[in-house]
A and B are shown apart, each in its own frame.
Chain A
Amino acid sequence: MSFSSIISRGIKLIIVLLIAVLLIFVGFKFIHRGHHHEEHKVAFNAWGGSPAINEYIAWAGARLKDKHHITLEHVKLNETADAITRILAEKASGKTAGGSVDLIWVNGENFAKMKREGLLRADAWAFELPNFEYTNADKLPGIITDFGTPTDGLESPWGRAQLVFGYDSAHLPEPPRSAAALAAWIKANPGRFSYPKPPDFTGTSFLKQILLETTPNRAQFMQPADSVDSETALAPLWAWLDEVHPHLWRGGRAFPANYTALVQLLGDGEIAIAMAFNPTEFSNGIAQGILPDSVRSYIHDAGTLANVHFVAIPFNANAPHAAMKVANFLLSPKAQLRKADSDIWGDPTVLDMDALPDKIRKKFSELPRGVATLAESDLGKTIAEPHPSWVGVIESAWTRRYGVQ
């Protein structure tokens, strides 16, 4: 090989590599990257399956950018467990700062797990937020006890939820208002009922609802699952499911992935009854054209599960102080008002009306209630969530019994 050819070959290689490197780094500046080391970027890990919620979070991001120069990055999760796994792995590998999650949308079992594993920022930051003043834990105990677990200020309340059923009044004049009536209706109308596949949150909640309605001893579920004989305790639930499963949509051999998919099935007319953990979900569906305007909602006579959902900051968050500002903004009357609007999201507020200034209270009372949203008085009856340890027990038993066929 001659000297000149070596030189030229070298130049060739360098030029080509330079072009490649240039290409990579030019766009590198503009890319929405995973890693962020500036304080003003907040990676908000929240379930991303609902366009209405995603849009609300995008609105919050725009407001935060204007007012606080915080860039809110919505990391859309399939399941909240994804992010918890990541934080667990970060903790196990010794990453105590600069973690990938700044703020996470959690409650119930996920919160209990994060608290137990020490994955949360350990000062009572949530109680210190200025807007926490507007809440009242005496009226809504769920704000400081999440599924029976004290929050200890490790998470800041965001919204309220209650299990609500929806039905198409054009096909079904009078919906069944108890677990027993529902079972009878399913058997009389095969193929017209389903629920999201556990471990989906709404699917598991439906199982808990049926369990608490059919059990002769509701109090035992307030205890940790391992302090009770779970076989016996869960027997009424399995009896109910065994009875109805052959008559479910697709013969109980396929399930929708989550409540949004379930609501879509109601809109298509494949099923006649759906459920969601949001009292305004069905009005939203009508507003978005997913559901026909003959859809209405109802709850069981015995009441339905209700809880509060929160945002929490992991122990190794990269931008904890900016995340607190985000949490405070999400709790602000302005943000809560917009969230409660059923044209936007329709998630009930966690704020206490009596603690609010008159002007804002008036705005809350003037919010339009969709045609398919129950009045506050009709939603009054609630059932307390069982101890979070039951979730895992119910889910794994369900998968063994019905998840594989």
Chain B
Amino acid sequence: MRARVALLGFCALPVLAGLGGIAFPAMGWFPPLGRDGFSLAPLQGFLAQPGLWDSLWLSLMTALLSTFLAYWLAMLLLAFLHHEGRGGWIFRLISPLLSVPHITVAVGFLFLLQPSGWLLRLISPWLTGWVRPPDFHLVPDLYGMALVIGLLAKELPFLLLMGLAALSQIPVRAHLDRAAGLGYGALAGWFYVIQPQLSERLRMPVLIVLVFAVSVVDMAVVLAPSTPPPLAVRILEWYRDSDLDFQFIAAVGAVVQLGLAAVAGGIWFVGGALMLRGVKALSARGVRFRVDVWFARLGRRMLLTLGVLPCLLSLAGGVAICIWSVADVWRFPSALPQDWGLRAWSVGGGGLHIPTFNSLYLGLSASALSVVLAILWLENQPKQAARRWESIIYVPLLLPQASFLFGLQILLIFLGLDGAFLTLLWAHSLFVFPYVMLSLGASWRRFDRRYSDVGMTLGKGAMARFFHIKLPMLMVPILTAFAVGFAVSIALYLPTIFASNGRFITLTTESVVLASSASRQALGVASVMQMALPLLVFLGCDLYMRWRGRRFDYFRHG
């Protein structure tokens, strides 16, 4: 019990403190910066910012559109592929994307799709006739579509994975058979019976995705329009302004972002409720959606293309990143570099080994800490009633990051704790822990207690049962959760910036700086490292499990 309370404090306290840390400055009261009277000046200053409504609209629109597309593509893919039972390849294609940081996907898009990008290099000048890049708004475009596609590429795999996990808790076969008995085809049955159950179970993952999209900064810096940029980027700009008044305007911005996330969530749920009523009305009328086979086949093809396209773009972007990292000279419109070489690795290596080490160390310790905490939490939580409290650990994911991190940082400066490594580790764990729980929780709870009971009948104590039976049997999900946690940590941008007060450089913060400079080679190297590290951790865990699993081979084959 006490451990649980401590854990809740671990997750909830910084969030509460952070919200306080923006609420008061937003009202003009913050003695540490020499303001000790409440006033409306910050609000007025905020409202006087040029292009404010454009920024708000851009944030709201990109968040809703990307979440909508990611969600429905994921749902339709699940419906089709589950039905056909042979979609394994698409999951294999998509799942590596889960471990690639957002900023790396964005950089890949940039390298691939901007007017001087690889795609146009491949078809110029023989097809297009261009010897110089055309003057197009491609990436970033004027309407935020590049950002929408970038977010889509990252969120679709996440929602697919969450959907698969949710499906395993629904007796799909039995429900569909019953629907089929009433004359509903596989797809109609799916949308009347399975989809509503699925959407209920996916409520939280969708909300996480939506809120993340409202508050995303690193991807937006690279892919979103800049005249004006979305709200999240502007909050960071205000926060960085050397005029102290802007600190207060940034605080108002953070409060507004909280409101914006609430509005986005509201729109999403109203839309979902309307949709559910529609489904109910249709099912009440017994509409069975008979369509021609060829039409269904066509729909399926289009859907697969739509679902796979953002992932293919990311993959091609990853290839472009790798090429840039070993290109000494690569000028438009050559399809491949004129001079290959490792100059960026030797030169950039001098500057990049610190961020690489920092990312690795921070990721490993945050992930290890979170896995240990998650195991403690799950082991000490026998009763169903206590599960209600569990949602508190997801709060950091359900609030826009800037909203409380900004306030948290002000308080950390006040307390003199900013920039300390432990503070940073804590901030990272706030975001890593919930994902580790998402990854580990279900398997942990599915563990068959009878194995432990057998151990008990053999006279083993609680310790021995835990370390010799439960832990080894759950090693696969534990290591998976560890790798997931590492991938989350290595991608974090705002938490790193705020908790370390800009003084702790990781590959992600370095990439954001490099993304707006001349050296595509150095950016390529940083991005390669960012793709490689989580992949190596996943591979390491996998290899370890294979090695551990060898001793069971006898039983399998013998």
The answer to whether A binds B is yes
**B contact residues around A292 at 8 Å (CB):** 331
Contact with A along B495-525 (1 / 0, CB 8 A): 0000011111100001011101111101000
Which stretch from A17-25, A155-163, A215-223, A323-331 is at the chain B interface? Answer: A17-25
Residues from 260 to 299 in A contacting B, C-beta threshold 8 Å: 260-261, 263-265, 267-270, 285, 289-290, 292
Which one of B241, B348, B419, B500 lies within 8 Å of A81 (CB-CB)?
Answer: B241
**B contact residues around A249 at 8 Å (CB):** 135
Given A31-B361, A100-B501, A289-B329: A5 and B462 interface contact (C-beta under 8 Å): yes
**B contact residues around A171 at 8 Å (CB):** 132
Q: CA–CA, A49 to B522, complex, Å?
A: 11
Report whether A257 and B361 are in contact in the complex, using a CB–CB cutoff of 8 Å. Answer: no
Report whether B116 and A268 are in contact in the complex, using a CB–CB cutoff of 8 Å. Answer: yes
**A contact residues around B520 at 8 Å (CB):** 264
Q: Does B480 contact A (CB under 8 A)?
A: no
Given A250-B135, A253-B227, A260-B519: A404 and B331 interface contact (C-beta under 8 Å): no
Q: Does A63 contact B (CB under 8 A)?
A: no
Report whether A49 and B421 are in contact in the complex, using a CB–CB cutoff of 8 Å. Answer: no
Q: How far is the CB of B132 from chain A (nearest CB, A)?
A: 4
Q: CA–CA, A317 to B115, complex, Å?
A: 45
Residues from 161 to 199 in A contacting B, C-beta threshold 8 Å: 171, 190-191, 197
Report whether B227 and A404 are in contact in the complex, using a CB–CB cutoff of 8 Å. Answer: yes
Closest to B463 in A: A8
Report whether B244 and A11 are in contact in the complex, using a CB–CB cutoff of 8 Å. Answer: no
Which stretch from A85-93, A360-368, A373-381 is at the chain B interface? Answer: A85-93
Given A4-B461, A24-B369, A100-B501: A16 and B513 interface contact (C-beta under 8 Å): no
Report whether A258 and B517 are in contact in the complex, using a CB–CB cutoff of 8 Å. Answer: yes
Report whether B135 and A191 are in contact in the complex, using a CB–CB cutoff of 8 Å. Answer: yes
Which one of B140, B364, B503, B504 lies within 8 Å of A254 (CB-CB)?
Answer: B140
Q: CA–CA, A88 to B247, complex, Å?
A: 11
Closest to B236 in A: A78
Q: How far is the CB of A175 from chain B (nearest CB, A)?
A: 17
**B contact residues around A399 at 8 Å (CB):** 50
**B contact residues around A4 at 8 Å (CB):** 461-462
**B contact residues around A9 at 8 Å (CB):** 462
**B contact residues around A267 at 8 Å (CB):** 331, 518
**A contact residues around B142 at 8 Å (CB):** 253-254
Which stretch from B81-89, B170-178, B349-357, B433-441 is at the chain A interface? Answer: B349-357
Report whether B376 and A13 are in contact in the complex, using a CB–CB cutoff of 8 Å. Answer: yes
Report whether A82 and B240 are in contact in the complex, using a CB–CB cutoff of 8 Å. Answer: yes
Q: Does B228 contact A (CB under 8 A)?
A: yes
Report whether A85 and B240 are in contact in the complex, using a CB–CB cutoff of 8 Å. Answer: yes
Given A24-B422, A86-B502, A88-B242: A19 and B133 interface contact (C-beta under 8 Å): no
Report whether B135 and A32 are in contact in the complex, using a CB–CB cutoff of 8 Å. Answer: no
Given A51-B347, A270-B133: A93 and B413 interface contact (C-beta under 8 Å): yes
Q: Does A393 contact B (CB under 8 A)?
A: no
Number of interface residues of B (CB under 8 A): 74
Closest to A17 in B: B372
Q: Does B33 contact A (CB under 8 A)?
A: yes
Report whether B32 and A270 are in contact in the complex, using a CB–CB cutoff of 8 Å. Answer: no
Report whether A403 and B50 are in contact in the complex, using a CB–CB cutoff of 8 Å. Answer: yes
Report whether A404 and B242 are in contact in the complex, using a CB–CB cutoff of 8 Å. Answer: no
**B contact residues around A51 at 8 Å (CB):** 347-348, 351, 517-519, 522
Report whether A32 and B354 are in contact in the complex, using a CB–CB cutoff of 8 Å. Answer: yes
Q: How far is the CB of B522 from chain A (nearest CB, A)?
A: 5
Given A24-B365, A33-B421, A76-B505: A255 and B331 interface contact (C-beta under 8 Å): no
**B contact residues around A258 at 8 Å (CB):** 516-517
Report whether B331 and A16 are in contact in the complex, using a CB–CB cutoff of 8 Å. Answer: no
Number of interface residues of A (CB under 8 A): 81
Q: CA–CA, A31 to B505, complex, Å?
A: 11
**B contact residues around A257 at 8 Å (CB):** 516-517
**A contact residues around B32 at 8 Å (CB):** 89, 92-94
Q: CA–CA, A35 to B350, complex, Å?
A: 22
Closest to A263 in B: B518
**A contact residues around B347 at 8 Å (CB):** 51, 55
Q: Does A124 contact B (CB under 8 A)?
A: no
Q: Does B416 contact A (CB under 8 A)?
A: yes
Residues from 379 to 436 in B contacting A, C-beta threshold 8 Å: 413-414, 416, 419-422, 425
Q: How far is the CB of A197 from chain B (nearest CB, A)?
A: 7
Report whether A403 and B228 are in contact in the complex, using a CB–CB cutoff of 8 Å. Answer: yes
Q: How far is the CB of B122 from chain A (nearest CB, A)?
A: 15
**A contact residues around B241 at 8 Å (CB):** 81, 85
Q: CA–CA, A32 to B359, complex, Å?
A: 11
Q: How far is the CB of A327 from chain B (nearest CB, A)?
A: 21
Report whether A78 and B513 are in contact in the complex, using a CB–CB cutoff of 8 Å. Answer: yes
Report whether A16 and B372 are in contact in the complex, using a CB–CB cutoff of 8 Å. Answer: yes
Q: How far is the CB of A180 from chain B (nearest CB, A)?
A: 24
Report whether B414 and A93 are in contact in the complex, using a CB–CB cutoff of 8 Å. Answer: yes
Contact with B along A82-113 (1 / 0, CB 8 A): 10111011101111000010000000001001
Closest to B510 in A: A76
Q: Which residues of B contact A (CB under 8 A)?
A: 3, 32-34, 50-51, 54, 115-116, 131-133, 135, 137, 140, 142, 225-228, 239-242, 244, 247, 328-329, 331-332, 339, 347-348, 350-351, 354, 357-358, 361, 364-365, 368-369, 372, 375-376, 413-414, 416, 419-422, 425, 461-463, 466, 500-505, 510, 512-514, 516-520, 522
Extra contacts besides A92-B34, A263-B518, A264-B517 (20): CB < 8 Å: A16-B375, A20-B368, A34-B420, A34-B504, A35-B420, A49-B513, A49-B514, A51-B518, A55-B347, A75-B502, A85-B242, A86-B502, A90-B413, A254-B227, A256-B516, A258-B517, A270-B135, A403-B51, A403-B228, A404-B54
> What 10 pairs between A and B have smallest CB-CB spacing?
A404-B51, A34-B419, A257-B516, A191-B135, A260-B518, A289-B329, A34-B503, A81-B242, A269-B132, A268-B116
Query: Could you pull out 7 A-B pairs where Cβ atoms are within 8 angstroms?
Result: A12-B463, A23-B365, A28-B421, A93-B32, A253-B142, A404-B227, A404-B228
